[in-house]
C-alpha cells in the first residue's frame, strides 16, 4: 500500500531528473550522448573562487553551523554587487538572505505567503519550480501564457480580475528560461504597478542576469521606483560563476519577504556551509569577476551563433536571443514537443528539452542549452540536420 502523502503522490516527477534517466539509459546502450538538456554550465568555477574555498574549508572556525542570517561578509558582498551593477542600495542586514541555491528559495517562498486555496501567478512556459512550490503550499498556480507575439512577456492586463484579486505571488523571470526573452524597464514598471494594485509580491528570478550579449545588460526589477515595496529578487551564483553544484544563491529586496524567507529557512535548514559563503564573497569582490564574465559572455555568444546559424541554414525562422544560454525553437510540423525530443534522442543521441515540460504553452517548442563546447555543438547540429528537415 502506498503510504506517501497526497502531496507527493500528486507531485510530478522533476523534468530534469526524468531527462537524466533517459540519458543514462541511452549511455548504457553505448550511445554517444550530447547533452543539451539541463542548463548546467560545462566550464569550471573560476580558479580564484576555488582557491578561496580551499583556504576556507581548511579553517576549523568554518566547520560549525553557519549564522542563521548568513555570513555577514556574504550579505555585504551581494549588497555591494547590487549597488555596483544595478545602482540599487540594499541593507545587508534586512534585505539580503543567502539561499542554498535560488531553487531552494523559489520553492519555499510560497510557504511564506500562500495559504491553501490562494492563487500564485506563474509564467507558462516557465521554470517548473514556481508552480511546484505553489502546489506544495496548497496554492493554485494560475498560468500566465508567454507568447511569441508578445515577446514572451505575460500580458498582465489579461489576467482575470478574479484570479489577480486572489493572487499572492507573481513569478517573473527575465532574462527568461526557457525562451531567452528579455524584459524592458517599462515592463517591470508595469509589473510593479500591477503588484501594487492587487497587493501582490513579485518574485523575480534573475538567475541569468549576467548572461547577456551584444551590449544588452539586463535590468533588475529593484531598479524600478518603489519596487522594494512589492518585489523580492532571486539570484544564484550557479550560472554566473559556473557553480551549479555548490548550491549558493540569495534573495534580495522587500524586507518583509526576506524576513519571512529567513524565518522559514531557520526552521527547516541550517544554512550554507560557511566556506561556501566565503567563496561567494570572493566571487563578487575579486577584481577578476568582470574579466571572467566578459569571457563567459563571449563563450555563450559564440555558441549561440553556431546554433542559430545552423538552424537558420536549415530553413529555420529564428532570431538570436539577447540573453541566457538557451535557444527556444519551434519543433518541426508533425511532432509534439515530446515526440520530437524522443525522436532526436533515439535517432541522433542529442538531448534537448521538450517545451511541454515547461508548461502547456511550451508545446510546439524545444529548448537547446548551450552547455557543451563549439565543436560538440556543431556535431549535435549536424546530427540533427541529418535526421530531420527543419522549417
Ligand atoms: C534549467 O535547465 O532549466 C535549469 O538548469 C534548471 C535549474 O536551474 O535548476
pLDDT tens sequence across 326-351:
999 999 999 999 999 999 998 999 99
The closest residue, in CA terms, to atom 5 on ligand 1 is 39
Residues 245, 307: one domain? no
- b/e code 267-282 from CB counts within 10 Å (16+ = b): eeeebbbbbbbbbbbb
Residues 185, 110: one domain? yes
What is the share, in percent, of the chain residues with pLDDT greater than 70? 99
Q: Are 154 and 144 in contact (CB under 8 A)?
A: yes
- Nearest CA-CA partner of 299 in 351, 373, 364: 373
Residues 183, 222: one domain? yes
Residue 30 in this model has a pLDDT that exceeds 60: yes
Q: Looking at the domain assignment, is residue 380 inside a domain?
A: yes
Cell of 157: 492586463
Query: Locate cell 561556501: which residue?
Result: 276
Expressed in angstroms and rounded, the spacing between residue 181 Cα and the centre of ligand 1 is 16
- pLDDT tens column, 37-94: 999 999 999 999 999 999 999 999 999 999 999 999 999 999 999 999 999 999 999 9
Which residue, 224, 255, 285, sits at the end of a domain?
A: 285
Q: Looking at the domain assignment, is residue 113 inside a domain?
A: yes
- Written as one string, the DSSP assignment of 297-320 is HHHHHHHHHHHHHHHHHTT---PP
- Nearest CA-CA partner of 121 in 63, 214, 199, 52: 199
* CA–CA distance, 295 with 301 (Å, rounded to integer): 10
Residue 153 in this model has a pLDDT that exceeds 90: yes
Within 6 Å (CB) of ligand 1, which residues are found?
38-40, 103, 127, 177
Q: What pLDDT, on the 0 to 100 scale, is given for residue 389?
A: 62
Which residue, 231, 260, 285, sits at the end of a domain?
A: 285
* CA–CA distance, 124 with 19 (Å, rounded to integer): 20
Expressed in angstroms and rounded, the spacing between residue 239 Cα and the centre of ligand 1 is 9
Q: Which atom of ligand 1 is nearest to the CA of 37?
A: 2
- Give the contacts of 145 (CB within 8 A, at least 6 positions apart): 124, 154, 155, 361
Residues 149, 242: one domain? yes
Give mean pLDDT, residues 289-315: 96
The closest residue, in CA terms, to atom 8 on ligand 1 is 39
For a substitution probing ligand 1, which of 127, 173, 246 has the most ligand atoms within 8 Å of its CB? 127
Q: Which atom of ligand 1 is nearest to the CA of 207?
A: 8
Expressed in angstroms and rounded, the spacing between residue 15 Cα and the centre of ligand 1 is 10
User: What Å distances lie between residue 326 and 191, 208, 221, 321, 377, CA to CA?
Assistant: 24, 10, 21, 8, 13
* CA–CA distance, 375 with 373 (Å, rounded to integer): 6
- Nearest CA-CA partner of 176 in 39, 310, 297, 298: 39
Mapping DSSP to helix (H, G, I), strand (E, B) and coil, where does residue 140 land? strand
- Give the contacts of 91 (CB within 8 A, at least 6 positions apart): 79, 255
The closest residue, in CA terms, to atom 7 on ligand 1 is 39
Q: What pLDDT, on the 0 to 100 scale, is given for residue 330?
A: 96
Beta bridge partners, 327, equal 368
Q: Are 112 and 234 in contact (CB under 8 A)?
A: no
From start to end of the chain, where are the E strands? 34-35, 96-99, 119-124, 140-145, 167-173, 201-205, 231-236, 249-253, 326-330, 350-351, 353-354, 365-369
Q: What pLDDT, on the 0 to 100 scale, is given for residue 212?
A: 98
The closest residue, in CA terms, to atom 1 on ligand 1 is 39
Q: What pLDDT, on the 0 to 100 scale, is given for residue 113?
A: 98
Residues 24, 165: one domain? no
Tell me what the pLDDT averaged over the chain comes to.
Answer: 95
Residues 151, 280: one domain? yes
The closest residue, in CA terms, to atom 9 on ligand 1 is 103
DSSP-derived letter for residue 93 is: T
Residues 178, 258: one domain? yes
Residues 111, 27: one domain? no
Count of structural domains, the chain: 2
Phi-psi region of 372 (alpha: psi -120 to 50; beta: other; left: phi over 0): beta
Mapping DSSP to helix (H, G, I), strand (E, B) and coil, where does residue 263 land? helix
Q: Looking at the domain assignment, is residue 1 inside a domain?
A: no
Q: Which domain holds residue 13?
A: 6-44+290-387
Q: Which atom of ligand 1 is nearest to the CA of 369?
A: 2
Residues 258, 382: one domain? no
Expressed in angstroms and rounded, the spacing between residue 101 Cα and the centre of ligand 1 is 11
Q: Looking at the domain assignment, is residue 33 inside a domain?
A: yes
Q: What pLDDT, on the 0 to 100 scale, is given for residue 391?
A: 45
Q: Looking at the domain assignment, is residue 70 inside a domain?
A: yes
Residue 111 in this model has a pLDDT that exceeds 80: yes
Expressed in angstroms and rounded, the spacing between residue 238 Cα and the centre of ligand 1 is 10
Angle value at C-alpha 114, between 108 and 117, nearest 5 degrees: 130
Q: Looking at the domain assignment, is residue 374 inside a domain?
A: yes
Q: What is the CATH number of the domain that holds 301?
A: 3.90.1150.10
Strand order in the sheet with 96-99: 96-99, 249-253, 231-236, 201-205, 167-173, 119-124, 140-145
Residues 85, 124: one domain? yes
Q: pLDDT category, 141, cuts 50, 70, 90?
A: very high
Q: What is the CATH number of the domain that holds 224?
A: 3.40.640.10
- b/e code 253-264 from CB counts within 10 Å (16+ = b): bbbebbebbbeb
Q: Which atom of ligand 1 is nearest to the CA of 103?
A: 9
For a substitution probing ligand 1, which of 40, 129, 341 has the most ligand atoms within 8 Å of its CB? 40
Q: Looking at the domain assignment, is residue 185 inside a domain?
A: yes
Q: Looking at the domain assignment, is residue 318 inside a domain?
A: yes
Which residue, 256, 285, 314, sits at the end of a domain?
A: 285
Q: pLDDT category, 202, cuts 50, 70, 90?
A: very high
Residues 207, 328: one domain? no
Residue 10 in this model has a pLDDT that exceeds 90: no
Residue 1 in this model has a pLDDT that exceeds 80: no
Give mean pLDDT, residues 28-38: 93
Residues 277, 333: one domain? no
Amino acid at each position: 500500500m502506498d503510504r506517501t502523502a497526497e502531496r507527493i503522490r500528486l507531485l510530478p516527477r522533476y523534468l530534469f531528473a526524468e531527462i537524466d534517466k533517459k540519458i543514462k539509459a541511452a549511455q548504457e546502450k553505448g550511445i554517444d550522448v550530447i547533452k543539451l538538456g539541463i542548463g548546467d554550465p560545462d566550464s569550471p568555477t573560476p580558479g580564484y573562487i576555488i582557491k578561496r574555498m580551499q583556504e576556507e574549508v581548511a579553517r576549523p572556525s568554518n566547520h560549525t553551523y553557519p549564522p542563521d542570517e548568513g555570513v555577514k561578509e556574504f550579505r555585504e558582498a551581494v549588497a555591494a554587487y547590487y549597488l555596483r551593477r544595478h545602482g540599487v542600495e540594499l541593507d545587508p542586514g534586512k534585505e539580503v538572505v543567502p539561499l542554498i541555491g535560488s531553487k531552494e528559495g523559489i520553492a519555499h517562498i510560497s510557504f511564506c505567503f500562500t495559504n491553501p486555496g490562494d492563487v500564485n501567478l506563474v509564467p507558462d512556459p516557465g521554470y517548473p519550480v514556481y508552480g511546484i512550490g505553489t502546489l506544495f503550499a496548497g496554492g493554485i498556480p494560475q498560468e500566465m501564457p508567454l507568447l511569441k507575439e508578445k515577446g514572451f512577456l505575460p500580458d498582465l492586463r489579461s489576467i482575470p480580475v478574479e484570479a489577480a484579486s486572489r493572487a499572492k505571488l507573481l513569478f517573473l523571470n527575465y532574462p527568461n528560461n526557457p525562451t531567452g526573452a528579455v524584459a524592458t524597464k517599462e515592463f517591470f514598471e508595469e509589473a510593479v504597478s500591477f503588484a501594487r494594485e492587487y497587493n501582490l509580491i513579485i518574485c523575480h528570478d534573475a538567475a541569468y542576469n549576467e548572461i547577456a550579449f551584444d551590449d544588452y545588460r539586463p535590468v533588475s526589477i529593484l531598479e524600478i521606483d518603489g519596487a522594494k515595496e512589492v518585489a523580492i529578487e532571486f539570484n544564484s551564483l550557479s550560472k554566473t560563476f559556473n557553480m551549479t553544484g555548490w548550491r549558493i544563491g540569495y534573495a534580495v529586496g522587500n524586507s518583509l519577504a526576506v524576513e519571512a524567507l529567513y524565518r522559514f529557512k531557520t526552521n527547516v535548514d541550517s544554512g550554507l556551509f560557511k566556506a561556501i559563503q566565503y567563496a561567494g564573497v570572493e566571487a563578487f569582490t575579486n577584481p577578476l569577476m568582470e574579466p571572467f564574465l566578459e569571457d563567459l559572455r563571449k563563450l555563450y555568444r559564440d555558441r549561440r551563433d553556431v546554433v542559430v546559424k545552423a538552424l537558420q541554414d536549415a530553413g529555420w525562422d529564428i532570431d538570436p536571443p539577447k540573453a541566457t544560454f538557451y535557444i527556444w525553437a519551434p519543433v518541426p510540423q508533425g511532432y509534439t514537443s515530446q515526440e520530437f525530443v524522443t525522436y532526436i534522442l533515439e535517432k541522433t543521441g542529442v538531448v534537448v528539452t521538450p517545451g511541454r515540460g515547461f508548461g502547456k504553452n511550451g508545446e510546439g517548442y524545444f529548448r537547446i542549452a548551450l552547455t557543451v563546447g563549439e565543436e560538440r555543438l556543431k556535431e549535435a547540429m549536424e546530427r540533427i540536420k541529418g535526421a530531420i528537415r527543419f522549417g
